[in-house]
Structure 1
Amino acid sequence: MAQETNDVHFADDGTVNERSFMVHWPRKHKKWVQMLVYTIFVLFGQSVATIMGRLYFNKGGNSIWLLTLVQTVGFPALVPFLLISPVQTSNDANAEKPKSLVLALLYVFLGVFLAALCVLYSIGLLYLPVSTYSLICASQLGFNAIFAYFLNQQKFTPYIMNSIFILTLSTVLLVFQNNSGESMNTSKGKYAFGFICTICASAGYALLLSLTQLSYRIVVKDESFRAVVAMIIYQSMVSSLVITIGLFASGDWKRLRAEMMKFELGNVAYVMILVSKAVCWQIFSIGTLGLIFKVSCLFSNVVSTVGLPIVPILAVVFFHEEINGVKMVSMVMAIWGFLSYMYQH
Structure 2
Amino acid sequence: MGFHNKSSDGITQEREEATIGDENQPRALLDRSQIFETQNWWIWIFISSGLVVTGRVLSTLLLNFYFIQTGRDVCDDPKQFKGTWLMSMVQNAAFPFTAFLLLLWRSLFSNHRETLSSSSSYSSSSCSSFGKLFLLYISLGVLFAAYSQLYAIGRTHCVFFFWIFTTQLIFTSIFTAIINKHKFNRWIILSIILSGVATGITSSDDAYYPCEGEGWKMSYGAWCAFFGTLAFSLSLCIMQLGFQKVIPNSESKVSAVLMMQTNASVIATFICLVGLFVSREFKDIKEDFETFKHGKPLYVLSLIGLSLAWQVMSLGLVGLVCLASSLFSNVVSFCATPLANILVVLAFQFMDDDIEWFKGGALLAGILGFSSYVYSLHKSIKKKEMESQ
| Fold shared by both chains (TM-score > 0.5) | yes
What stretches of structure 1 move > 4 A for 4+ residues in a row? 2-9, 19-25, 92-98, 177-183
Please say if 1:340 is aligned against 2:369: no
| 1:183–1:147 distance in 2 versus 1, CA, 3 Å | closer
Q: Counterpart of 1:221?
A: 248
Q: Counterpart of 2:387?
A: none
RMSD between aligned alpha carbons? 2.9
Please say if 1:151 is aligned against 2:179: yes
Letter in 1 for 2:153: I
1:317, distance to aligned residue in structure 2 (A):
3.2
Q: 2:163 aligns with which of 135, 155, 162?
A: 135
Shifted more, 270-279 versus 76-85: the winner is: 76-85
Shifted more, 157-166 versus 99-108: the winner is: 99-108
Please say which structure displays the higher CA radius of gyration: 2
CA deviations on 1:288-336 (whole Å, 9 max, x unpaired) are 1111010000100100111211122111332134451111111111111
Gaps of 5+ in 2: 1-19, 73-78, 378-389
Q: Counterpart of 2:239?
A: 212
Q: 1:234 aligns with which of 239, 250, 263?
A: 263
Letter in 1 for 2:347: F
Report the TM-score when normalising by structure 1. 0.87
| 1:259–1:186 distance in 2 versus 1, CA, 3 Å | farther
| Contact 2:156-2:209 at 8 Å conserved across structures | no
* Structure (1 or 2) with the greater helix fraction: 2
Q: Distance in 2 between matches of 1:297 and 1:38?
A: 13
| Contact 1:82-1:226 at 8 Å conserved across structures | yes
Please say if 1:33 is aligned against 2:43: yes
Q: Counterpart of 1:55?
A: 65
CA deviations on 1:31-70 (whole Å, 9 max, x unpaired) are 0000000000011112211211111111116511111111
Letter in 2 for 1:111: G
| Contact 1:134-1:308 at 8 Å conserved across structures | no
| Contact 2:198-2:334 at 8 Å conserved across structures | no
Q: Distance in 1 between matches of 2:168 and 2:21?
A: 48
Give the secondary structure class of the aligned counterpart of 2:93. Answer: coil
| Contact 2:54-2:313 at 8 Å conserved across structures | yes
Q: Counterpart of 1:103?
A: 133
| Contact 2:157-2:221 at 8 Å conserved across structures | yes
Give the secondary structure class of the aligned counterpart of 2:202. Answer: helix
Shifted more, 64-73 versus 101-110: the winner is: 101-110
| Identical aligned residues as a percent | 27
Report the TM-score when normalising by structure 2. 0.78
Give the secondary structure class of the aligned counterpart of 2:92. Answer: coil
Give the secondary structure class of the aligned counterpart of 2:293. Answer: coil
Q: Counterpart of 1:13?
A: none
Q: Counterpart of 1:328?
A: 360
Shifted more, 199-208 versus 117-126: the winner is: 199-208
Q: Distance in 1 between matches of 2:201 and 2:269?
A: 34
Gaps of 5+ in 1: 10-18
| 1:251–1:178 distance in 2 versus 1, CA, 3 Å | closer
